[in-house]
Structure 1
Amino acid sequence: MPHDHGHNHLDPQSGDRRVAVAIWANALLTIAQIAGGIVSGSLALIADALHNFSDMAALVIAFAARKISRREADEEMTFGYGRIEIVAALINYTTLIIVGVYLCYEGVLRLLEPPEVAGWTVVYIGGVALVVDALTALLTYSMQKDSMNIRAMFLHNLSDALSSVAVIVGGMLIILYDWWLVDPVITILIAGYILYLAGTEIGGPIRTLMLGSPPDIENAAVVALVRDVEGVIGIHHVHLWQMQEHAVSLDCHIVVHPDRWHDVEPVKSQIKARLSAELGIEHSTLEFETTGKAQAGTQLYGHKI
């Protein structure tokens, strides 16, 4: 299927302003949550603050990556700087995993010896956190549809908003029933949810950075399309990968009969046109060979080392 990215895009400056506002809001919220967690004795609130700090870090990384990604290609980076956003997404998902593991560890320790917690402080700060997290998620919602980098940042804030809801519920249970155990339990639940989000999303940037084939294009469909073009006898050394998040590239060797060598240019044009129209592949490098001069011992995908 061709790529479809027909969303209404914000201009880069407007997007940058949204991210900048979110950074400042999360910075102030992190300070408030840590202070509130210390005063109230709530590990769940401090856990939410640590998660929120990771959100702020994610926002800063995403903001920097957006700026860098817009640089033009040069002799040092001939493909341009767009992949920096994939690197940023990987960093942000990795920090989510680190935070999740740490919170699990702290939560288990608190289960063994639950502390007293000031419930009202937890509820008040949790309510403020929920407003800020929901605002940040709203600011970046439309932007995350077309960017792996912004999606990682958005999931940070979305998970933090849900964590804030859990913190508020925990604070109310403490107020109503003096159930101190709820604080470490909620901490562990927050950590589990963080790990779930990161674990399900981190495969995307890893796949892209490993030059994996695009998940929404079947390799077999690409090979079949090329073989279906009149004049093509065979195809090998196929490399299908993502130059950037939304830019798919195809490199391959195509075999034609010696008698059709004069038709190479029309065949190439037809292949490129069909790749673009049917599969959304705009960038392709096609090397042609004749049956008598084709490289021996070739394989369909990749090449022998």
Structure 2
Amino acid sequence: MAHDHSHSHVDENQSDKQLTVAVVINVLLTVAQVIGGVFSGSLSLIADALHNLSDAAAIFIALVARKIGNKPADTTHHFGYKRAEILATLFNSSTLILIGVYLIFEAISSYLNPQPINGWIVVWVAAIALVIDLATAFLTYRAGANHSINIKAAFIHNVSDAMASIVVIIAGTLIILYQWYIVDLIATVLISLYVIYHGILLLKQSCKILMQAAPSNVDTDAISHAISNEFNIESVMSIKLWQLDDKENYCELIISTQHVIDLAAVKSFLHDNFKIENCIIEIQSITNKSLI
């Protein structure tokens, strides 16, 4: 067992290093894209740069959240510190939406006041961005995209960034060949809408968790029928579900029965079949009421 723990610790340290490298190269890429966008006059390049910056922030949050989430519960934080990541997601998703809206307004302004664009700078910077996006996607995948929903989200974002870089390369090529400057504005709007879309998804998910909404992947009727059949429960009077973070589901359950119920077995059943980490179970009967 000691060997397994040590191996896990080494893997996590290696994963942290990979995520740190991914953050650094994304920040450097953002700087390069902003400089390239300013010198070329390409707004789509700046739009892609801001998207890359948001991805660097997402990776950084995943890295910090892993550290904070490992802190144990204490006398003031009885559930621990796992929701620090949700608060950061709320902030970042709101920023994503604001950035997307701002870029759309800038695209309209640029259309009304057109400026010349250096297509070669756009193509070369976007090509460099494509290589770095693919490298970052590889790093985030190796860092545990198959085991962590947060790192998986960062991985998907970097893959989408690579797709956005391809769009910018196409826009730059059309500018070089045909002087179709409007393509840059169209690419800006498309990237901005994509940023806004993912910002809204993240905002909704974080708000649902903070408002203690029931997890969308857990069916209360299925829970009720399953435990009634498995443990000979006459009635499931109330089921309240909420999420501590984007992985852990919690439950408060009120049941009515005249039989002796093994509460530890009920909790194990809920954990194994519905991924509920912890459940408070109250038993109500004619002769007895107990809270476990």
Pair 1:169–1:241, CA change in 2 (3 A): same
How many angstroms does 1:294 deviate by?
6.7
The C-alpha deviation readout for 1:151-196, integer Å capped at 9, x for no partner, is: 4433443332222111111111111011121111111111112222
Q: Which shifted more, 224-233 or 45-54?
A: 224-233
Q: 1:201 offset after TM fit, Å?
A: 4.5
Secondary structure in 1 aligned to 2:239? strand
Give the superposition deviation at 1:276: 3.2
Q: Is the 8 A contact 2:136 2:158 kept in 1?
A: yes
Segment of structure 1 superposing worse, 226-235 or 17-26:
226-235
Number of residue pairs aligned between Structure 1 and Structure 2 = 282
Task: Map Cα deviations across residues 36-57 of structure 1 (whole Å, 9 max, x no partner).
Answer: 1111111111222222222223
CA contact (8 A) 2:251 2:280 kept: yes
Residue number in structure 2 paired with 1:281: 276
Structure-1 residue corresponding to 2:4: none
Matched residue, 1:77: 77
Does the 8 Å contact 2:254/2:284 carry over to 1?
yes
SS of the equivalent of 2:181 reads coil
1:151-300 to 2 correspondences below 5 Å: 151-230=152-231, 232-257=233-258, 260=259, 263-264=260-261, 266=262, 268-291=263-286
CA 92–149 in structure 1, closer or farther in 2 if over 3 Å, else same: farther
Corresponding residue of 2:27: 27
Do the aligned partners of 2:248 and 2:275 also contact (CA within 8 Å) in 1?
Answer: no
Moved more, 59-68 or 118-127: 59-68
Q: TM-score scaled to structure 1, two decimals?
A: 0.83
> Does 2:97 correspond to 1:102?
no
Q: Tell me which amino acid in the other structure corresponds to 1:54.
A: S
Q: What's the CA shift string for 1:114-151, capped at 9, x where partnerless?
A: 21101111111111111111111221135334434334
Quote how far apart the aligned CAs of 1:237 are.
3.5
Partners of 1:41 and 1:115 within 8 A in 2:
yes
Tell me if 1:90 matches 2:90: yes
Matched-pair identity in %: 39
CA distance in 2, matches of 1:61, 1:276: 28
Question: Please, what is the CA RMSD of the aligned residues?
Answer: 2.5
CA change 1:230–1:14 in 2 (3 A) is: closer
Letter in 2 for 1:197: H
- Within a 5 Å distance, the mapping from 1:129-144 to structure 2 comes to 129-141=129-141, 143-144=144-145
Question: Is residue 36 of structure 2 the alignment partner of residue 41 of structure 1?
Answer: no
Gaps of 5+ in 2: 1-7
In 1: Cα distance, 2:268 partner to 2:46 partner: 56
Q: CA deviation at 1:21?
A: 0.2
Separation (CA, whole Å) in 1 of partners of 2:87 and 2:139? 22
1:95 positional shift: 2.5
Give the secondary-structure state (helix, strand or coil) at the position aligned to 1:232: coil
Q: CA deviation at 1:198?
A: 2.9
Query: Could you tell me the TM-score, scaled by structure 2's length?
Result: 0.86
Q: In structure 2, what is the equivalent of residue 61 of structure 1?
A: 61
Q: What is residue 118 of structure 1 aligned with on the other side?
A: 118
For 1:233, give the aligned amino acid.
E
Change (3 A) 1:63 1:277: closer
Query: In the alignment, residue 184 of structure 2 is paired with which amino acid?
Result: D
**Structure 2 Cα separation of the partners of residues 56 and 281 of structure 1:** 32
Alpha-carbon deviation of 1:10?
8.7
